[in-house]
Chain A
């Protein structure tokens, strides 16, 4: 029986506090980064586009004037006029003279690639501007009408450069955003660790307290946010310690108060029992009753005192490497006829375990008495070697313990319903469980091959240094 206190069912598993903090930080970082990036990109795009278009317009108007000067002469050579225009590799001037298209270069298909809406508004005598996409390349087309010459001037500006710039900007912004999100998550993780670190100390201190180290306290802190929590935790630990101290003192005093009268009772009864034959018969029966009840009462008191000592955590656990088989035989020798029932496996003969001799003897005596009282006597006691443990098995001839009661039976005052009636509402097995736990062992009840109860005690093997 491992002494695990009843734990409230855990709420359904969800993300831990730190994970949640990280996710929250990452989400905030994402919103901020994406928002800022989008805004930056959009503003940059508009600004750059406006700039480019205004430069393009100026150049187109200049070129249109130059073209007009060229076309106004008597001898018109449109090709020469076109050659005389300012143009770079990213621009393409086009002159439509008397309905005929004259592009300077031919990578922009004229008039197929020119948007018809633009052409029609220029034909109507206006200047116009329009963005157009050919293939993957964006362009801006500017058209100027030269009505007195029956001509139109168009100029196509490639925006490929601008598009590359914007693409680079987008990549930079995306990388920036990703870095920001990751950094956000990391900050969340780190910050929550900082916040949770004191909790770790709380947990380890609470664990030490639970383990019986009653003086364990959390170190005082200068942090104004933590100080009240630390103070109240330490206050709680202090009052717990005081209370346990008081309980231990009480147990010690009550021990004296109860043991003394029991001594007198016991001695007086023994005196009377020795003179039983001199007593009238009607007095002999109550004397027997008295004797059996005093014995029972005494056992009860001793068990209660023992368990209150265990609860108070007084009394040291004196673990030493001892041969389990030997201790078992010594205990068995104390009961008539029991030693012959002890079987020791060959490999367990010299097995030593780390045990507290008195506690281990107590455990065995209680198991044997339990078998005698509730299990119609011990059938066999077997000492075996297990993996990392030495095992003592006590089988009885009783009706066994039903599976549903196999844990309950080690609880205090549990009185098994089936076949385990009679005297001694048990503290004995509760004591067994407590002692075994203190020796870092385990105890359980099973069914013996003959159908009786089988109590199994396991204690850790001593490692010889």
Chain B
């Protein structure tokens, strides 16, 4: 990552784009702007971007589609910005592959904190567990930052990877959503459990044989999740 992290900001509202660009520049980021999803994807392909910030309600291509397209080729951290607080929008964006979300009106300091946390997650070398771990046909290699399924590498986002490591580090132990939010996302206060749910859902789709009947990452109703050896 370059010394000045690059943030691609896809947002159709010019005023918001300008105001937040200035703010983020103050915070020490380089901001690339795009007013439409199509334009954003073009810029994403041309430049090396450290983090993508996407508004969901975009003219033309919808934010969901932008997230899905980027996620198809890249594991870059993606934050969605939405004016809709409905589950439909937030869960939809997370399921498309976003790492986190923030709702409008955006509190700039909070946005900065989220971006910092996402970047930290993306670059921090995972130290634990020190040695690799094998669960069934899944092999986790923390030092290499990779996960193999039947010997083939599985592409996980940093958030998904960290979530898997966290669960694997405490096998058989139930981890509540709050604990996972704190350890994986670094949020202590008022995190949204749906972040965890959608990431577990995505993780299952990648590592489980049958995501609708998980054998590895199981839900403990009302308590959280645990990894079965």
Q: Are A266 and B222 in contact (CB under 8 A)?
A: no
A271–B26 touching, CB < 8 Å = yes
Verify A260–B107 contact, CB threshold 8 A: no
Q: Are B104's CB and A333's CB within 8 A?
A: no
Mask for A3-32, Cβ within 8 A of B = 1, else 0? Answer: 000000000000000000000000000000
The 11 sampled A-B contact pairs (Cβ below 8 Å) are: A255-B85, A260-B16, A260-B105, A263-B13, A263-B20, A264-B15, A267-B106, A274-B26, A330-B189, A358-B192, A365-B190
B220 to nearest A CB, angstroms?
11
Residues of B within 8 Å of A301, CB to CB, are: 105
- Is the pair B83, A267 in contact by a Cβ cutoff of 8 Å? no
Q: Is B84 an interface residue (CB 8 A)?
A: yes
B-contacting residues of A (Cβ < 8 Å)?
252, 255-256, 259-268, 270-271, 274, 298, 301-302, 309, 314-316, 320-322, 326, 330-331, 333-334, 352, 357-358, 361, 365, 462
B222: chain A residues at CB < 8 Å are 320-322, 352, 462
Chain B residues lying within 8 Å of A262, measured Cβ to Cβ, are 104-105
The answer to whether B189 touches A334, judged by C-beta atoms less than 8 angstroms apart, is yes
Please give me the 5 A-B residue pairs with the lowest Cβ-Cβ distance, nearest first: A262-B105, A259-B104, A267-B19, A334-B189, A321-B222
The residue in chain A whose Cβ has the minimal distance to the Cβ of B89 is A252
Pairwise interchain contact B83-A260, C-beta atoms closer than 8 A: yes
CB of B191, distance to nearest CB on chain A (Å): 9
Number of contacts between A and B (CB, 8 Å)? 87
Among A255, A316, A462, residue most surrounded by chain B Cβ atoms (within 10 Å): A255
B193 lies within 8 A of A357 (CB)? yes
Q: Taking the nearest CB of chain A, how far is it from the CB of B111, in angstroms?
A: 9
- Asked whether, in the complex, the Cβ of A270 is within 8 Å of the Cβ of B189, the reply is no
- Give CA–CA (A264, B11) in the complex, Å: 12
Write out, one digit per residue, whether chain B residues 22-46 have a CB within 8 A of any chain A CB (1) or not (0): 1100100000000000000000000
Query: Measured between alpha carbons, how far is A266 from B22 in the docked complex, in Å?
Result: 12
Q: Give Cα A314 to B108, complex, Å.
A: 28
Report B's interface with A, CB cutoff 8 A.
13, 15-16, 18-20, 22-23, 26, 57, 83-87, 103-109, 178, 188-190, 192-193, 221-222
Name which residue of chain B comes closest to A297, CB basis.
Answer: B105
Name the A residues within 8 Å of B16 (CB-CB). 260, 263-264, 267
Q: Give chain A nearest CB distance to B57 CB in angstroms.
A: 6
Q: Tell me how far the C-beta of B190 lies from the nearest C-beta in chain A, rounded to whole angstroms.
A: 6
Which residues on A sit within 8 Å (CB–CB) of B108? 266-267, 270
B178 touches A326 (CB 8 A): yes
Please report the C-alpha to C-alpha distance between residue A266 and residue B23 in the assembled complex, in whole angstroms. 10
The answer for the CA separation of A56 and B188 in the assembled complex, in Å, is: 116
Closest A residue to B191 by beta carbon equals: A330
Q: Which residues of A contact B20 (CB under 8 A)?
A: 263, 267
Q: Do A330 and B190 touch (CB < 8 A)?
A: yes
Write the nearest CB–CB distance from A461 to chain B, whole angstroms: 13
Q: Once the chains are docked, how many angstroms separate the CA of A224 from the CA of B18? A: 66
Contacts of B15 in A (CB 8 A): 260-261, 264
Q: A263-B16, A263-B104, A266-B105 are in contact. Are A255 and B83 (CB under 8 A)?
A: yes
Known: A259-B105, A263-B106, A270-B23. 14 other contacts (CB 8 A): A256-B57, A256-B104, A260-B16, A260-B105, A263-B105, A266-B108, A267-B22, A274-B26, A316-B87, A321-B221, A330-B188, A334-B188, A334-B190, A361-B190
Q: Give A309 to B87 CA distance when docked, in angstroms.
A: 13
Inter-subunit contact A264/B107 (CB<8 Å): no
A261 CB contacts on chain B under 8 angstroms: 15
Tell me the minimal C-beta distance from B182 to chain A in angstroms.
9
CB distance from A247 to the nearest CB of B (A): 15
- Report the Cα distance A315→B84, complex, angstroms: 11
State A266–B102 Cα separation when bound (angstroms): 15
Kindly state the separation between the CA atoms of A333 and B190 in the bound complex, as whole angstroms: 9
Chain B residues with CB below 8 A from A260, complex form: 13, 15-16, 83, 104-105
Name the CB-closest residue of A to B17. A264
* Distance in angstroms between the alpha carbons of A290 and B66 in the assembled complex: 36
**Residue of B with least CB distance to A329:** B178
Please give the distance in Å from B219's CB to the nearest CB on chain A: 11
Q: Find the B residue at minimum CB distance from A354.
A: B222
Check if A266 sits within 8 Å of B85, measured CB to CB: no
Count chain A CB atoms within 10 A of each CB in B18, B57, B83, B193 and give the residue with the most: B83
* B13, B103, B106, B190: the one within 8 Å of A331 (CB): B190
Residue of B nearest to A295 (CB): B107
Least CB separation from A261: chain B residue: B15
CA–CA, A358 to B177, complex, Å?
Answer: 13
